[in-house]
Amino acid sequence: DAKTTQPTSMDCAEGRAANLPCNHSTISGNEYVYWYRQIHSQGPQYIIHGLKNNETNEMASLIITEDRKSSTLILPHATLRDTAVYYCIVRLPLRGNEKLTFGTGTRLTIIP
Amino acid sequence: DADVTQTPRNRITKTGKRIMLECSQTKGHDRMYWYRQDPGLGLRLIYYSFDVKDINKGEISDGYSVSRQAQAKFSLSLESAIPNQTALYFCATSAAGTGELFFGEGSRLTVL
């Protein structure tokens, strides 16, 4: 699976959109981008994933560049409860390759 | 009730003691995982199991062993605990072929 690079930390004002970048320049054509978050010391929580097209769900939007070498997770209206560590993970969707490798992620702090 | 339940949630033990962390799930998933998290770091995979008869080592399996007693149960053992095994341990499950993992609430282990 391809390696990802994320900023160590970011701040965002409450109510504003939080945009979390991820670089995955060595991604292969079939690898998906996954995002998880970990609030305090709770277990990580799945947010969203995508291959090429932009994806949106009730939690967030995922924007993947045309060359697929980077992506951005967008939390449209950040709240204090969105303060967490966000992990960007790249995975080849093969049966038997379900395990995920978590890096150190981006620590997002929402400022009141 | 939680879909993925870990016991105990907190444990303090002494060097040399045998410790077992248990995980049970009601998701009906085949895949189960044990991860370890040290302060300020990401999650590292200890062991994973694709079904009852399939156990695989992760990146940091030394000093640990596991048992998959049933589809719903996956236990992690420290045969002789040492202080650098002090960490937060997470169990997770997933369905075959997906990258969406469901995590337990964690077991905080302190080895004195």
Query: What confidence tens digit (pLDDT) does each residue in A17-70 have?
Result: 999 999 999 998 889 999 999 999 899 999 999 999 899 999 999 999 999 999
Q: How far apart are CA A2 and CA A92, in angstroms?
A: 9
Give B96 to chain A, closest Cα distance, Å: 6
Mean pLDDT over residues B9-23, rounded? 97
pLDDT of B1 strictly over 80: no
Average pLDDT of chain A to the nearest whole number: 93
Give A13 to chain B, closest Cα distance, Å: 23
CB contact under 8 A, B88 and A42: no
CB contact under 8 A, B42 and A87: yes
pLDDT of A2 strictly over 80: no
Those residues whose C-beta lies under 8 Å from the C-beta of residue A66, and which sit 6 or more positions away, are none
pLDDT of B2 strictly over 80: no
> Which residues of chain B are within 8 Å of residue A44 when distances are taken between CB atoms?
43, 90, 101, 103
Those residues whose C-beta lies under 8 Å from the C-beta of residue B43, and which sit 6 or more positions away, are A44, A102, B35, B36, B37, B90
Mean pLDDT over residues B37-61, rounded? 91
How high is the pLDDT of residue A29?
A: 83
Closest residue by Cα to residue B34 from B97, B84, B86, B107: B107
Mean pLDDT over residues A5-15, rounded? 97
Mean pLDDT over residues B92-112, rounded? 93
> Picking from A57-61, A77-81, B39-43, B44-48, which range would have the lowest pLDDT averaged per residue?
B39-43
Residue A112 near chain B (CB below 8 Å): no
Kindly provide the b/e burial profile for residues A2-24, where b requires at least 16 CB atoms within 10 angstroms of the residue's own CB: bebebeeebebeeeeebebebbb
The residue written with tokens 């970048």 in the block is A21
Closest residue by Cα to residue A39 from A105, A111, A99, A103: A105
E-state strands within A1-112: 9-13, 18-23, 32-38, 45-50, 55-56, 61-64, 70-75, 84-91, 106-111
